Amino acid sequence: MALAVASTSTAVANNAESLVITAPTGIDTGDLLILVLVQSQGGDVGIPSGFTEMLTADDPNDYLAMYYKVAVLADESAVNYTVTGGTDTLGGAVMLRVTGWSSGNPLYDSSTIEQSAVDLPSSVGRNGITVDRPSQQLLIMAYATADNDNDLPTGAGTYTVTSSDSNPTWTEVLDSVSDIRFAANNIDAAFAVAYAVSSDTSQITDYSIAIAGTPVIDTIFSMLAVIASPQDAPGNAVFATSTQTAFADPTGSAGGNGSPALKASTQTAFTPTGKGNAPTQWVNEAIENTDWTNEESL
Amino acid sequence: MANFHLQALKDAIDLLVATGTAKLHYMAPAYTPDPDNSYWADISSDEASGAPTETLAGFAVAKDTANNRVTIDFTDPSEAGITTTTDQFVIVVDTGNDATSPILYSGAIDAELNPIAGTISLTIPATGIAALNAAAT
């Protein structure tokens, strides 16, 4: 089942400590919810329950980051989601409700970059990448600026991925250029998110977002995420038979008369030691010889 | 001419499998089968990440008298919600201890499988997965 973006919602805020984003319409259990967030806290913020970070362009500060959640029953009745952070550190969020996913982390491949002193107009993004994609995928591209001189672009233009296939059709969800300020860090920000569904499989070598305006922006973060469509994989096990080996026949003989050779044993005689005592010599006494004469018979 | 005899071969495998539970592990493509490996603990580090361990239903050893061999067969395994990459598998008799669970068989799949949150399944040939020939060469 191919992935499809069923509904979206956005939120932007100035000097906010919490950011409330409306739940995309029609959430069903099992839908994939993707949250793209820009914030200046300088670390983790309180993301809504059940979301897991899957991509950040600025680790560990997470200035521009992406999170996912597989919707549970409670999400079907959710009205909105709230991100909480430090004073004046939350700026903007985009949420996509995606159908067709099943479970686990959907991120298949990605690329991010942080670029400094970007002289607009210019395209931001990254060249020379090797981003793979499965036969069906959802591409999400986002950028966010950070400038402490209040410099802002005038908007995002063309979103492009370069590969041996043509650039897919992009749908922009948000292009905010003047709504976000992080007073806590004296930063003004612009923020845009777009997505495209594609069945192309060639490796992506570049991604870019054309940004209009004239100032030099201190820092621009951008990211490209490849969200994989579920794909089954049946295979055939290969049958194998064993090959057994018999060793050479044992040698033997039958029917032959043998002539056993005479073997003479060699014996070893151990010489015993002896001890001899002279015994007392006994001499028989002389006895008289008695001659017996038979009586005459009557 | 020398032969193993079918009943003894069958009994030998049956007795071995009776010491535990026959299980199938999918292996990473980088794994190189080595018959010298004895127990699952020897090769478990090469198991394909994210792949399921399948308890083999219908595991059967049969005498194939027509071909003078003993065949091993089991029900086609299938598991949903899997993201992994694999092109081979092993069959292990699980004794409950990886260090004493003998590896019975290692074999190939006809193609590399790359399910993405999808169903991974194997079709076992009608002949079974493997056979031990009785006749020695």
Tens-place pLDDT, residues A53-77: 999 999 899 999 999 999 999 999 9
Quick one: average pLDDT of A172-180?
Answer: 93
Instruction: Report residue A103's pLDDT band, with 50, 70 and 90 as the boundaries.
Output: confident
Of A229, A231, A238, nearest to B109 by CB-CB distance is: A238
The predicted-structure confidence for A232-245, as pLDDT tens digits, reads as follows: 899 999 988 887 77
φ, ψ for residue A32, nearest 5 deg: -95, 125
The percent of residues above 70 in pLDDT, for chain A, comes to 87
- Predicted pLDDT of residue A50: 96
| Residues of A contacting chain B (CB within 8 angstroms) | 101-104, 106, 108, 134, 228-246
Q: State yes or no: pLDDT of A32 exceeds 80.
A: yes
Contact A106 B117 (CB under 8 A): yes
Partner-chain contact B113 A134, CB within 8 Å: no
Q: Reduce the DSSP state of residue B41 to 3 states and report it.
A: helix
Chain A residue with Cα closest to B127: A239
- Cβ neighbours of residue A284 closer than 8 Å, sequence gap 6 or more: none
Q: Nearest C-alpha of chain B: how many angstroms from A122? A: 36
Residue of B89, B116, B121 to mutate for A, most A C-beta atoms under 10 A: B116
Chain B 3-32, CB below 8 Å of chain A: which residues?
4
Residue A158 three-state SS: strand
- The mean pLDDT value for A94-121 works out to 95
What is the distance, to the nearest Å, from the Cα of residue A162 to the centroid of all Cα atoms in its chain?
26
Q: Cα A234 vs. chain centroid, distance in angstroms?
A: 21
The one-letter amino acid code at A83 reads V
Count, in order, helices (H) and strands (E) of chain A. 1, 17
Q: Tell me the per-residue pLDDT of B112-135, one tens digit each, with 9 for 90 and over.
A: 999 998 999 999 999 999 999 887
| pLDDT value, residue B4 | 86
Both structure tokens of A160: 């492009």
pLDDT at residue A278 greater than cutoff 80 = no
Q: Check whether A269 has a pLDDT greater than 60.
A: no
From the CA of A134, how many Å to the nearest CA of chain B?
Answer: 9
Q: Quote the DSSP letter at residue A204.
A: B
Residue type, A192: A
Q: Is the pLDDT of residue A48 over 50?
A: yes
Mean pLDDT is lowest, of A11-20, A195-204, A272-281, for A272-281
pLDDT digits (tens, 9 = 90+) for B29-57: 999 999 999 999 999 999 999 999 999 99
Tell me what percent of the residues of chain A surpass a pLDDT of 90. Answer: 72
Residue B88 Cα, gap to closest chain A Cα (Å): 8
Task: List chain A residues with CB under 8 Å of B110.
Answer: 235-238
Closest by alpha carbon to A214, among A296, A119, A298? A119
The Cα–Cα gap between A34 and A189 comes to 21
